[in-house]
Amino acid sequence: MFDIAAEIEKLSIVLYPHPSLRHQAKAIRRVDVELRNIIARMFDLMYEHRGVGLAATQVNIPLRLFIVNPSGRRGEGQESVFINPVVSRPRGNDEDEEGCLSLPGIYGNVVRSKTIRVNAYDLTGKEVDQEFTGFEARIIQHETDHLNGMLFIDRLSEGALRELEDGISELVVDFESRQRTGAIPANESLAKRLGDLESRYC
Ligand SMILES: [Zn+2]
């Protein structure tokens, strides 16, 4: 049987090219105490790695959910949970450097909309319908991409991507060797885990 408590205990940030990062996350139909525990654990991991946002697909959870704190520090700034987010009304363009906790050491310039509107639910089930701009809007667009299996490197120019080739290949070599030694489960067992989580929450 699928032991969700044990899974929460083991939750960690998966690195490129882990297949979960390419998974199309599914809408959440119910929130239970275990899902709240998953979210609490996501905040721990995000602060531990000094991130400002973290999507569920980055911890191998195939659900439409991400967390944000633009300050990147516990106890500072605004913590938000976005469940089933829908981004609309993009306005303006803004280019800035991005990184990703799933692509350590890789940075590149990404063009994003300057202002967006987001409709989502928070942890209490309250509907959020709000406009975001600047850095927060950038984080939300980056995390929404994650829920659709997209990474910021997919949005880089060919030239910029070529410059990052060596760092990206290193991540691939490292992932393949960890999968060979069994440190990362084989793709079939990863797929089964995602299926178990989907049937619980979707
Ligand atoms: Zn990311």
158 is a catalytic site residue: no
Query: Is residue 106 situated within a structural domain?
Result: yes
Active-site annotation holder among 143, 176, 188, 198: 143
* pTM of the shown model: 0.96
Check residue 1 and give its pLDDT.
Answer: 59
Domain span at 170: 4-197
pLDDT (tens digit, 9 = 90+) per residue, 15-38? 999 999 999 999 999 999 999 999
Mean pLDDT (whole number) for 140-162: 97
Check residue 7 and give its pLDDT.
Answer: 84
Q: What is the CATH number of the domain that holds 9?
A: 3.90.45.10
Mean pLDDT (whole number) for 101-107: 97
Tally of structural domains, the chain: 1
State the maximum Cα–Cα separation within the chain, in Å, rounded to a whole number.
Answer: 49
How much is the mean pLDDT over the chain? Answer: 95
- Residues with Cβ–ion distance below 5 A, ligand 1: 100
pLDDT at 183 over 90: no
